[in-house]
């Protein structure tokens, strides 16, 4: 974020106190904060008893005797899928809709909790028949269709560990994730619909699996009916294998600390980190936050989270949180603007969506398109609006509330990460007096601080780094296969405290304002992409000698990727053609979301005497700002060479 944007943010003084009528019916109350402050572990103990069904009780709420390796609900046993599906049927809610699924071409499906119980049981039986068991890893690479949630729950049901890989990632990205987790099975589809056309998935799986000896079987859902290559010994159709199974499966209870899933996210090095989440604490905090932050009333609400299931938001707020709470939700397959820009608002109107959870980048895109488009639909069913993925600027916040929320809905700006597993900092609707642009305060049961370089907690009115000084139930337990990296990445910068990687400021009232990443991680449309990952993709191209990548502020996507490259002498003329070639190369190596917005060929890169690239200076160039201090450069003239080269258009 630029310093201008930052100071604007901190001068925001509009306040939106809760509506008394909303407050009177809200799930959350001020008393939750007091209860959690008085005894945090007793608070979580009570939540665990009220929100989840257990087969065996725990002996301790938290074991923090070997930090940073936490154990929550020690000795407790439960089945995550039973909690998300069966118990709602047993409680008499089998007829309640679990998923209103909307395909992009306009087809739709409705699954009740009873339907889901049958489907998840069938899928669980199918996984067992394919040789998958407790602790085995299953990679899931799918479009947004009900089978993706069914697959995840089927894994959870039998104690297999899923690793969902976003369908927009490349074959290479999929291969490296399959390899790191040593997945035995891949669940995929022939393809899915995007922007009016069937997009394929199976060819990327074929390519990835050809180089993945761990994979024994590939289970394929037929969605688009496009032609696919078929390996008779390896590939099986969902409609053959799953549909043939009995719709009954007795769930077995697993230990609280059994692994539920791995989800890869970008770090500051080129190698993605496999974030490991476990069963009980994760499920508890997703359920608790989903109930209180969104004020969920499972009997009457229709909830819609627009995230793709390939990201953590999809895991926690499309699958585990809402389903643990027995929510009715919408799941949409495609793009927001197909067949036309009002598609999302049509969906809100069609299903009477009451709670909407989306990202600032989407809100800003709708803002640009104007109020008329949502204005033509009936959005009066909406009563809570959520935001996630990046800081929401006050203008977008106000627009969201005025135009989408008719000027009356609470907005919850939820800060959290893949690593935290669930929402950590957010207003509570009906309780908090909202400030546009601020995520405000840690939720009851969560502790967060802002500290300076030396690790001292800053006074109100000051900025620094966001840290989490106390463990929380949904916290990551480690990086898959790399405990040392877990310790180094999160627990070493401020020993004993979790370092989130975000800059933050506390205002005069102690409310927290998130200011973006302080490490080499970019945030593009709410997606996390590492500069080093894009750099290594670029230098793997034969025409590139060196590359440096920065995230430059972008009015719509938050940040845009700008790459500076030194071309090899034999690469020929630079120019648009090479830039296009390199952008495609990055898409092939990582996925289209990582394509640089701009690629600039330069003669040199700014480096310190120890050889570290000074991205700060490149960011100045990319954002057309006056250059900062260049005195630590090994060669201070480099920046002149770069700027004059760019100015002359080479
Ligand atoms: C990073 C985590 C959390 C699910 C989606 C992204 C940024 C996330 C907010 C927010 C300001 C936010 C942070 C964080 N972020 N939510 N409400 N306000 N920043 O998950 O890919 O793990 O990215 O997203 O920088 O560290 P993720």
505-535 residues labelled b (16+ CB within 10 A) or e (exposed): bbbeeebbbbbbbbbbbbbbbbbbbbbbbbb
Q: How far is the CA of 420 from the centre of ligand 1 (A)?
A: 10
* Ligand 1 atom closest to the CA of 307, numbered from 1: 5
- 592 HSE (CA, 13 A, CB side): 2
- Is 517 marked as a binding-site residue? yes
Q: Is the peptide bond before 68 cis (omega within 30 degrees of 0)?
A: yes
CA distance 289 to 28: 10
- Is 390 marked as a binding-site residue? yes
Indicate whether 5 pLDDT > 70: no
Question: For the chain, what is the total number of helices (H) and then of strands (E)?
Answer: 23, 30
- Is 197 marked as a binding-site residue? yes
Whether 55 and 255 have beta carbons less than 8 Å apart is answered as: no
Establish whether residue 286 lines the binding site of ligand 1, counting it when its CB lies within 6 angstroms of any ligand atom: no
Q: How far is the CA of 630 from the centre of ligand 1 (A)?
A: 31
Residue boundaries of the structural domains of the chain: 21-335+415-504, 525-647
pLDDT at 630: 84
CA distance 538 to 130: 39
Whether 99 and 110 have beta carbons less than 8 Å apart is answered as: yes
- Is 63 marked as a binding-site residue? no
Question: Average per-residue pLDDT in the chain?
Answer: 95
Judged by DSSP in three states, 344 sits in helix
CA distance 281 to 309: 20
pLDDT tens-digit map of 340-396? 999 999 999 999 999 999 999 999 999 999 999 999 999 999 999 999 999 999 999
pLDDT at 235: 98
* Ligand 1 atom closest to the CA of 425, numbered from 1: 17
Of 507, 319, 450, 428, which is closest to residue 36 (Cα–Cα)?
428
pLDDT at 8: 56
List strands edge to edge, sheet with 384-388: 108-112, 97-102, 328-332, 302-305, 355-358, 384-388, 411-414
Any idea which residue has 């572990």 for tokens?
A: 41
User: What architecture is domain 21-335+415-504?
Assistant: 3-Layer(aba) Sandwich (3.40)
Calculate the alpha carbon distances from 114 to 78, 238, 368, 384 in Å: 20, 20, 42, 27
Q: How far is the CA of 523 from the centre of ligand 1 (A)?
A: 8
Best mutation site among 389, 501, 503, 591 for ligand 1, i.e. most ligand atoms within 8 A of its Cβ? 389
Token pair of 234, please?
């390896």
pLDDT at 7: 52
CA distance 618 to 562: 9
Of 283, 246, 298, 280, which is closest to residue 117 (Cα–Cα)?
246
CA distance 211 to 218: 14
CA distance 103 to 198: 11
Whether 177 and 264 have beta carbons less than 8 Å apart is answered as: yes
pLDDT tens-digit map of 267-307? 877 788 999 999 999 999 999 999 999 999 999 999 999 99
Residue whose Cα lies nearest atom 14 of ligand 1: it is 417
Of 514, 275, 283, which is closest to residue 418 (Cα–Cα)?
275
Q: Backbone phi, then psi, for 578, in 5-degree steps?
A: -65, -40
Establish whether residue 421 lines the binding site of ligand 1, counting it when its CB lies within 6 angstroms of any ligand atom: no
Contacts of 336 (CB under 8 A, 6+ apart): 306, 343, 344, 362, 365, 366
Q: How far is the CA of 416 from the centre of ligand 1 (A)?
A: 5
Indicate whether 647 pLDDT > 80: no
Mean pLDDT of 470-495: 98
Any idea which residue has 């104007």 for tokens?
A: 370
Beta-bridge partner residues of 355: 303, 384
Interface predicted TM-score (ipTM): 0.99
CA distance 634 to 608: 5
Indicate whether 84 pLDDT > 60: yes
How sure is the predictor about 169, in pLDDT bands with cuts at 50, 70 and 90? Answer: very high
Of 226, 211, 220, which is closest to residue 170 (Cα–Cα)?
211
Establish whether residue 312 lines the binding site of ligand 1, counting it when its CB lies within 6 angstroms of any ligand atom: yes
Q: How far is the CA of 499 from the centre of ligand 1 (A)?
A: 14
Of 320, 328, 353, 333, which is closest to residue 149 (Cα–Cα)?
320
- Is 108 marked as a binding-site residue? no
Whether 256 and 73 have beta carbons less than 8 Å apart is answered as: yes
Q: How far is the CA of 456 from the centre of ligand 1 (A)?
A: 24
Mean pLDDT of 251-267: 96
- Is 3 marked as a binding-site residue? no
Low-confidence winner among 102-106, 531-535, 606-610 (lowest mean pLDDT)? 606-610
Residue whose Cα lies nearest atom 12 of ligand 1: it is 390
Percent of the chain with pLDDT over 70: 98
Calculate the alpha carbon distances from 172 to 218, 275, 297, 626 in Å: 17, 19, 42, 39
* Ligand 1 atom closest to the CA of 423, numbered from 1: 3
* Ligand 1 atom closest to the CA of 416, numbered from 1: 3
pLDDT tens-digit map of 114-147? 999 999 999 999 999 999 999 999 999 999 999 9
Q: How far is the CA of 445 from the centre of ligand 1 (A)?
A: 20
Token pair of 330, please?
């919408």
Token pair of 1, please?
């974020």
Taking the model in full, what pTM does it have?
Answer: 0.94
pLDDT at 1: 44
How sure is the predictor about 2, in pLDDT bands with cuts at 50, 70 and 90? Answer: very low
pLDDT at 271: 84
Helix (H) or strand (E) holding 580: helix 575-589
Q: Does domain 525-647 have CATH number 3.30.300.30?
A: yes
Helix/strand/coil (H, E, C) string of 386-442? EEECCCCCHHHHHHHHHHHCCCCCCEEEEECCCCCCCCCECCCCCCCCECCCCCECE
Establish whether residue 514 lines the binding site of ligand 1, counting it when its CB lies within 6 angstroms of any ligand atom: yes
Q: How far is the CA of 559 from the centre of ligand 1 (A)?
A: 13
pLDDT at 649: 46
Token pair of 371, please?
């109020």
* Ligand 1 atom closest to the CA of 517, numbered from 1: 25
Q: How far is the CA of 151 from the centre of ligand 1 (A)?
A: 26
pLDDT at 571: 82
Best mutation site among 387, 499, 526 for ligand 1, i.e. most ligand atoms within 8 A of its Cβ? 526
CA 599 distance to own-chain centroid: 27
- DSSP letters, 38-72, are H-HHHHHHHHHHHH---SB--SEEEE-SSTT--EE
pLDDT tens-digit map of 384-427? 999 999 999 999 999 999 999 999 999 999 999 999 999 999 99
Best mutation site among 276, 528, 559 for ligand 1, i.e. most ligand atoms within 8 A of its Cβ? 528
Best mutation site among 416, 493, 511, 533 for ligand 1, i.e. most ligand atoms within 8 A of its Cβ? 416
- Is 383 marked as a binding-site residue? no
Indicate whether 3 pLDDT > 50: no
Query: Within 10 A of 406 (CB to CB), how many other CB atoms are there?
Result: 12
Residue whose Cα lies nearest atom 18 of ligand 1: it is 391
Beta-bridge partner residues of 502: 517
Contacts of 30 (CB under 8 A, 6+ apart): 431
Contacts of 542 (CB under 8 A, 6+ apart): 568, 571
Establish whether residue 265 lines the binding site of ligand 1, counting it when its CB lies within 6 angstroms of any ligand atom: yes
- Is 414 marked as a binding-site residue? yes
- Is 306 marked as a binding-site residue? no
- Is 249 marked as a binding-site residue? no
pLDDT at 650: 39
pLDDT at 9: 58
Establish whether residue 500 lines the binding site of ligand 1, counting it when its CB lies within 6 angstroms of any ligand atom: yes
């Amino acid at each position: 974020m630029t310093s201008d944007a930052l100071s604007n943010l901190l001068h925001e003084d509009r306040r939106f106190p809760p509506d008394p009528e909303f407050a009177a019916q809200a799930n959350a109350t001020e008393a939750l904060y007091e209860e959690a402050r008085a005894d945090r572990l007793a608070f979580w103990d009570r939540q665990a008893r009220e929100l989840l069904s257990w087969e065996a009780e725990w002996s301790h709420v938290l074991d923090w005797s070997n930090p940073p390796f936490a154990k929550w609900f020690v000795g407790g046993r439960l089945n995550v899928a039973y909690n998300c599906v069966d118990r709602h049927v047993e409680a008499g809610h089998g007829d309640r809709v679990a998923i209103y699924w909307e395909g992009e071409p306009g087809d739709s499906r409705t699954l009740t909790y009873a339907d889901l119980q049958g489907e998840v049981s069938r899928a669980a039986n199918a996984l067992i028949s394919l040789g998958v068991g407790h602790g085995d890893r299953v990679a899931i690479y799918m479009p947004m269709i009900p089978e993706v949630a069914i697959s995840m729950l089927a894994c959870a049901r039998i104690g297999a560990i899923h690793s969902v890989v976003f369908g927009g990632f490349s074959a290479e990205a999929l291969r490296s994730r399959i390899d790191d987790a040593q997945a035995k099975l891949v669940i995929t589809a022939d393809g899915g619909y995007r922007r009016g056309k069937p997009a394929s998935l199976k060819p990327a799986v074929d390519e990835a699996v050809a180089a993945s000896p761990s994979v024994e079987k590939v289970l394929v859902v037929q969605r688009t009916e496009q032609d696919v290559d078929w390996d008779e010994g390896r590939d099986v159709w969902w409609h053959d294998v799953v549909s043939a199974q009995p719709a009954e499966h007795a769930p077995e209870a697993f230990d609280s600390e059994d692994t539920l899933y791995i989800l890869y996210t970008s770090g500051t090095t080129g190698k993605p980190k496999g974030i490991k989440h476990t069963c009980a604490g994760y499920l508890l905090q997703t359920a608790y936050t989903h109930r209180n932050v969104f004020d969920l009333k499972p009997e009457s609400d229709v909830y819609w989270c627009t995230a793709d299931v390939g990201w953590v938001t999809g895991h926690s707020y499309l699958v585990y949180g809402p389903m643990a709470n027995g929510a009715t939700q919408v799941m949409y397959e495609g793009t927001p603007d197909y067949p036309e820009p009002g598609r999302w608002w049509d969906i809100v109107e069609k299903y009477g969506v009451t709670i909407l959870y989306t990202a600032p980048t989407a809100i800003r895109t709708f803002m640009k398109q104007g109020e008329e488009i949502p204005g033509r639909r009936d959005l009066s069913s909406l009563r809570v609006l959520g935001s996630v993925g990046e800081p929401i600027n006050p203008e977008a916040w106000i627009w969201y509330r005025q135009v989408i929320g008719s000027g009356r809905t609470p907005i919850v700006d939820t800060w959290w990460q893949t690593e935290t597993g669930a929402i950590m900092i957010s207003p509570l609707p009906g309780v908090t007096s909202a400030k546009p642009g601020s995520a405000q305060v840690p939720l009851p049961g969560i502790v967060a601080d802002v500290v300076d370089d030396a690790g001292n907690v800053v006074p109100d009115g000051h900025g620094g780094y966001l840290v989490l000084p106390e463990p929380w139930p949904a916290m990551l337990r480690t990086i898959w296969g790399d405990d040392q990296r877990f310790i180094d990445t999160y627990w070493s910068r401020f020993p004993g405290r979790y370092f989130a990687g975000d800059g933050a400021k506390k205002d005069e009232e102690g409310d927290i304002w998130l200011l973006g990443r302080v490490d080499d991680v970019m945030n593009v449309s709410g997606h996390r992409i590492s500069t080093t990952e894009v750099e290594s993709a670029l230098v793997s191209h034969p025409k590139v000698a060196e590359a440096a990548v920065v995230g430059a502020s972008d009015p719509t996507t938050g940040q845009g990727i700008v790459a500076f490259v030194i071309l090899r002498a034999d690469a020929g003329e630079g120019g648009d053609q090479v830039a296009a070639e390199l952008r495609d190369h990055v898409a092939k190596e990582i996925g289209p979301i990582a394509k640089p917005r701009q690629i600039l060929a330069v003669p040199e890169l700014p480096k310190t005497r120890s050889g570290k690239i000074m991205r700060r200076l490149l960011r100045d160039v990319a954002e057309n700002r006056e250059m900062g201090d260049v005195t630590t450069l090994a060669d201070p003239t480099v920046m002149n060479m770069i700027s004059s080269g760019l100015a002359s258009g080479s």
